């Protein structure tokens, strides 16, 4: 079942490039007007806006440094000022520092947590009144495949810590916001076709023997936003082709 998002406004963080861009375009194709958040990629964000507008929807590019404590509230205020409402919040931004777990400076570790975990919390908190007023408010957080069956990946420790926390946040806020009619869910991609750590022998790690495409992630998001997904909250959907179904099959 295809989601009909006509008349709804979506805010997608990190929407200038890659997964965020694909999600913003998919939401617009489903009928939503879209706020395209970006950090530094202004030109790319404006290109996404232009494509959405050319397809007949409204769109705005709004910059915010989500590592700053006050940025989330300002981003929500700017969204409401531009669009007049907010129905869908997609927390897509995710810093992904790789390397020795003790090689990451404390400030860089803190910045990862600020962007990947604190910012989604602050955005949801700032947007909760608008989402409740929508009557069909929905938050979708982007996680990573296997987050519910955690096997430590020392090369991506800070990222894992932040996304494991985001799963707890998802389920906690699903309970807190459910009585207000706001749903909170998580979609967790595995290897995407542009992932920085995609293995050469992907068939040895992914049963479906291919990396995900953005359309796969968008499909799960649109399902949650459709009538068919309308009674789902606090859920996590792995979109990973079976990656990490076995705890013994870890990727070095």
Domain count, the chain: 1
Residues with Cβ within 8 Å of residue 60, at least 6 apart in sequence: 34, 35, 36, 49, 79, 82, 83
Q: What per-residue confidence (pLDDT) applies to 244? A: 72
pLDDT score of 104: 83
For residue 250, pLDDT over 70 is answered with no
In a domain, 176, yes or no: yes
In a domain, 113, yes or no: yes
User: φ, ψ for residue 226 (rounded to 5)?
Assistant: -85, 170
In a domain? residue 244: no
Q: What is the pLDDT of residue 6?
A: 97
Distance from first CA to last CA of the chain, Å, rounded? 38
Instruction: Residue 91: give its domain's CATH number.
Output: 3.40.50.720
Give the pLDDT of residue 156. 74
Least confident of 161-165, 228-232, 241-245: 241-245
159 carries an active-site annotation: yes
Residue 3 lies in a domain: no
pTM: 0.91
Sheet holding 33-38, edge to edge: 59-63, 33-38, 9-12, 88-91, 138-142, 183-189, 236-239
- Residue 147 within a domain: yes
Residue pair 11/79 in contact by the 8 Å Cβ criterion: yes
Residue with more model confidence, 251 or 233: 233
pLDDT at site 251? 45
Most confident of 10-24, 155-169, 198-212, 237-251: 10-24
- Quote the domain boundaries for residue 234: 9-239
pLDDT at 242: 66
Q: What is the pLDDT of residue 252?
A: 43
Domain membership of residue 200 (yes or no) is yes
Spatial separation of the C-alpha atoms in residues 237 and 82, rounded to whole Å:
31
Position 165 in a domain:
yes
Residue 248 in any domain: the answer is: no
What are the beta bridge partners of residue 62?
37
Query: 108 φ, ψ to 5°?
Result: -70, -40
Whether residue 49 has pLDDT greater than 90:
yes
pLDDT at position 148 is 80
The pLDDT assigned to 84 comes to: 97
Model confidence over 200-231: pLDDT tens digits? 676 667 777 677 789 999 999 999 999 999 99
Predicted pLDDT of residue 106: 87
What average pLDDT does range 40-57 have in this prediction? 97
C-alpha separations of 118 from 67, 76, 141, 228 in Å: 8, 15, 12, 30
Q: What is the mean pLDDT of residues 69-74?
A: 93
| Active-site residue, from 38, 144, 159, 243 | 159
DSSP the chain: -----TT-EEEETT-SSHHHHHHHHHHHHTT-EEEEEESS-HHHHHHHHHHHHHTT--EEEEE--TTSTTHHHHHHHHHHHHHS---EEEE-------S-TTSS-HHHHHHHHIIIIIHHHHHHHHHHHHHHHHSS-EEEEE--TTTTS----GGGHHHHHHHHHHHHHHHHHHHHHGGGT-EEEEEEE--BTT-TT--TTGGGT-TT-S-B-HHHHHHHHHHHHSGGGTT--S-EEEESTTTTSSTT----
Residues 115-161: pLDDT tens digits? 999 999 999 999 999 999 999 999 999 998 878 877 767 777 888 89
Average pLDDT over residues 83-103: 86
């Amino acid at each position: 079942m295809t989601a009909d998002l006509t008349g709804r406004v979506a805010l997608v963080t990190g929407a200038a490039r890659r997964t965020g861009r694909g999600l913003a375009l998919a939401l617009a194709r489903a009928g939503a007007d879209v706020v395209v958040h970006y950090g530094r990629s202004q030109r790319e964000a404006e290109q996404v806006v232009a494509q959405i507008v050319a397809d007949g929807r409204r769109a705005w590019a709004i910059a915010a440094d989500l590592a700053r404590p006050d940025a989330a509230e300002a981003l929500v205020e700017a969204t409401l000022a531009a669009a007049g409402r907010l129905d869908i919040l997609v927390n897509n931004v995710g810093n992904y520092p790789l390397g020795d777990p003790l090689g990451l400076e404390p400030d860089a570790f803190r910045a990862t947590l600020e962007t990947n975990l604190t910012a989604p919390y602050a955005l949801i908190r700032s947007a909760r009144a608008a989402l409740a007023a929508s009557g069909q408010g929905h938050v979708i957080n982007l996680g990573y495949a296997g987050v519910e069956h955690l096997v430590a990946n020392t090369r991506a420790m800070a990222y894992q810590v932040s996304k494991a926390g985001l799963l707890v946040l998802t389920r906690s806020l699903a309970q807190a916001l459910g009585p207000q009619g706001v749903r909170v869910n998580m979609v967790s991609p595995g290897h995407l076709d542009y992932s920085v750590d995609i293995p050469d022998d992907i068939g040895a790690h992914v049963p479906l023997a291919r990396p995900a495409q953005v359309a796969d992630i968008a499909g799960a998001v649109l399902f949650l936003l459709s009538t068919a997904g309308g009674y789902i909250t606090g859920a996590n959907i792995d979109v990973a082709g079976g990656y990490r179904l076995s705890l013994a099959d870890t990727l070095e």
